[in-house]
Amino acid sequence: MNFLTLKRRHVLMGLAATTALPSISFAQSGQPVSGGTLKISHSTRIATLNPLSLSGPAEYPCIDMLYSRLTRIGFDSQPHPDLAESWVASPDATEFTFTLRAGVTFHDGTPLTADDVVATYQAILNPDIPAAATSVLNMIDTVEALDELTVRFTLSSPFADLPFSTAHANACILSRSALDDLTGLETRVNGTGPFKLETYDSARIVRMVKNDNYFVRGRPYLDAVEMLLFPDLAAETANFLSGTTDVMLTVQQADFERIAGSPGIGGQRVNSGRYVCVVMRQDAEPWNDVRVRKALAKAVDRQLLVDILLEGLGRPAYDSIVAPELQYATDKPEIAYDPEGARALLAEAGYPDGISVTMVASDRPAIRSQTAIVMQQTAAAAGFNLDIQTMPHDTYLANVWRKGPFYIGYWGMQPTIDATYNLLLTSEAAYQDSEWKNEEFDALIQAGRSTTDEAERARIYAEAQTLELAETPYIVPFYEDVLTANRDNTNSWQVAPISRYFYIENVWLDS
């Protein structure tokens, strides 16, 4: 039996309840102790606590503490039991039955039942509700409660990756009563996670306190967690170095060596598929011409970006959003910096004198605007006159994201190739922002999720990646390592390539 077969069997059949939490080794100063308040910092505000729709980097750790899902991605990038203690699949992967843990309660004390799971998934699949997880779960035909603790999903086509999709960061299980007030989800929380919401100030602090009735015995160790939101990176860094905070959730590349080398502080670096991408709306000129998109691809000095912006803490990428670590990822051909080749493509597309265009970048995180500035310099020799407009992140979200013609996007790594493409590139993707519509590509992704044959899936996804590279819907110049730092008194803090799952219930502070 080969590795892929073993991996698929592992996913389809689930895990024993006792393996709900990944087994991880940490440098610890002794046995875990209870108590204390963990203070985590980030330099972006929190726009919402609605788990159906949120997408911000400081929002995901909060909902990972406040809510639970049927499954949860571990540090091994595999799905593990969360609210579901086990699951089984039909041989053709068109039917999945999840068995829920007994005795789980929401924060208000009401019991979790299969009916809450049904209601949650009906909301996710409701076309009138903007739910981020819809695109990775839209193969679900029906979801039904077989009894108080058993849920059956019937799929419209085979999909072996369903336990990955039920772990989607936005597929948090909500109570049926909470779903009666979708607006209330913005600021009120009634989850089943290890912490309960105490204070919510979207620009300053989110304070969460220990859930004494959390379903994992002995967890969490901490009495409380505070997510502190700073107005700028300088203030965040100064507070961390002075000891005001315990964890700096995201460290910028230029600061990593200095911060990680400071007394009493440890830094972590994890290879990841996190990436900056250049969004080129292809429903208008000039980006509707693939020659212009490919000209810009040749105008990017990728190694220079890695060396200068990432301080070497990353890898060049060649315009695919599929990270090399993902199953079915293919090797991508190198795209060399070639300004003369870019000029020739622009001339062929009808721009012999080059092209002038405004590129918009949010000021958060700083890597967006930094990428734009370096691209402005390297693309000038290729005939691109880029006028860089940097704006506050809130303004960018309101006026540019998924609306503007040419801007810098920023995305974390997804657990599967299906989730990656259904996040951004299929015609009905959750966050479709490029208006790249390709029926052949859509058909390939649908075919890939509809077969359980590993060799056939590999062939299909290879063809999809070839089509992506041929059409260049995005410029993806590099993959960025995930960087974080914590003080020595903070034990079991760990980050993963997929920055959506944190297991903060395992973290403890030295007494």
pLDDT tens digits, 95-138: 999 999 999 999 999 999 999 999 999 999 999 999 999 999 99
Q: Same domain, yes or no, for 372 and 498?
A: no
Residue 431 has pLDDT above 80, yes or no: yes
Q: Please provide the DSSP assignment of 184-198 as one string.
A: GGGT-----SSEEEE
Distance of alpha carbon 85 from alpha carbon 166, whole angstroms: 13
Query: Within a domain: residue 451?
Result: yes
Residue 171 has pLDDT above 80, yes or no: yes
Three-state secondary structure call for residue 380? helix
Q: What is the pLDDT of residues 376-403, one digit of tens each?
A: 999 999 999 999 999 999 899 999 999 9
Give the confidence band of 15 by pLDDT, cuts at 50, 70, 90: very low
Give the CATH number for residue 296: 3.10.105.10
Query: Within a domain: residue 143?
Result: yes
Residue 2 has pLDDT above 60, yes or no: no
Q: Are 118 and 70 in contact (CB under 8 A)?
A: no
Distance of alpha carbon 289 from alpha carbon 436, whole angstroms: 11
Give the CATH number for residue 148: 3.90.76.10
DSSP class of residue 178 equals G
Distance of alpha carbon 25 from alpha carbon 20, whole angstroms: 16
Q: Same domain, yes or no, for 493 and 467?
A: no
Q: If you average pLDDT over residues 163-174, what whole number do you get? A: 97
Q: Please provide the DSSP assignment of 6-68 as one string.
A: HHHHHHHH---GGGSS-------SSS-----EEEEEESS------TTT---TTHHHHHHHH--
Give the confidence band of 4 by pLDDT, cuts at 50, 70, 90: very low
Domain residues for the domain of 168 are 3-18+30-193+489-509
Query: Within a domain: residue 208?
Result: no
DSSP class of residue 311 equals T
Distance of alpha carbon 412 from alpha carbon 250, whole angstroms: 12
Amino acid, single-letter form, for residue 113: T
Token representation of residue 296? 């810009």
DSSP class of residue 484 equals E
Lowest mean pLDDT among 41-45, 98-102, 337-341: 41-45
First-to-last CA distance in the chain?
A: 48
- Per the prediction, the chain carries an average pLDDT of 93
Q: Same domain, yes or no, for 438 and 496?
A: no
Q: Same domain, yes or no, for 383 and 448?
A: yes
Residue 243 has pLDDT above 50, yes or no: yes
Distance of alpha carbon 96 from alpha carbon 84, whole angstroms: 12
Residue 12 has pLDDT above 80, yes or no: no
Q: Could you list the beta-strand ranges (E) of 317-420.
A: 355-362, 384-391, 406-411
Helix (H), strand (E), coil (C) string for 111-150: ECCHHHHHHHHHHHCCCCCCCCCHHHHCCEEEEEEEECCE
How confident is the model at residue 108, as a pLDDT?
A: 98
Distance of alpha carbon 374 from alpha carbon 392, whole angstroms: 19
Residue 25 has pLDDT above 60, yes or no: no
Q: What is the pLDDT of residues 176-224, one digit of tens each?
A: 999 999 999 999 999 999 999 999 999 999 999 999 999 999 999 999 9
Q: Where are the alpha helices (DSSP H) in 222-325?
A: 233-241, 253-260, 290-298, 302-308
Higher pLDDT, 44 or 332: 332
The pTM for the full model equals 0.85
Q: Same domain, yes or no, for 503 and 463?
A: no
Element (H, E) at 295: helix 290-298
Close Cβ partners of 26 (under 8 Å, ≥ 6 residues apart) = 491, 492, 494
Q: Same domain, yes or no, for 443 and 500?
A: no
How confident is the model at residue 14, as a pLDDT?
A: 45
Query: Within a domain: residue 152?
Result: yes
Sign of the Cα pseudo-torsion (468, 431, 133, 75, in order): positive
Query: Within a domain: residue 301?
Result: yes
Q: Same domain, yes or no, for 65 and 146?
A: yes
Q: Same domain, yes or no, for 498 and 398?
A: no
Give the confidence band of 231 by pLDDT, cuts at 50, 70, 90: confident
Distance of alpha carbon 209 from alpha carbon 212, whole angstroms: 9
How confident is the model at residue 29, as a pLDDT?
A: 52
How confident is the model at residue 473, as a pLDDT?
A: 98
How confident is the model at residue 17, as a pLDDT?
A: 33
Distance of alpha carbon 511 from alpha carbon 505, whole angstroms: 17
Distance of alpha carbon 105 from alpha carbon 226, whole angstroms: 23
Query: Within a domain: residue 249?
Result: no
Query: Within a domain: residue 187?
Result: yes
Q: Same domain, yes or no, for 305 and 442?
A: yes
Query: Within a domain: residue 210?
Result: no
Q: Which of 25, 98, 27, 38 is nearest to 68 (CA)?
A: 98
Distances in whole angstroms, Cα of residue 276 to Cα of each of 14, 257, 428 = 34, 21, 21
Q: Could you list the beta-strand ranges (E) of 160-264.
A: 195-201, 205-210, 224-229, 247-248
Number of compact structural domains in the chain: 2
Q: What is the pLDDT of residues 343-366, one digit of tens each?
A: 999 999 999 999 999 999 999 888
Q: Same domain, yes or no, for 109 and 171?
A: yes
Token representation of residue 401? 């994201």
Q: If you average pLDDT over residues 466-482, what whole number do you get? A: 98
Q: Same domain, yes or no, for 461 and 496?
A: no
Q: What is the pLDDT of residues 126-167, one digit of tens each?
A: 999 999 999 999 999 999 999 999 999 999 999 999 999 999
How confident is the model at residue 452, as a pLDDT?
A: 87
DSSP class of residue 283 equals T
Q: Which of 504, 394, 496 is nearest to 45 (CA)?
A: 394
Q: Same domain, yes or no, for 96 and 143?
A: yes
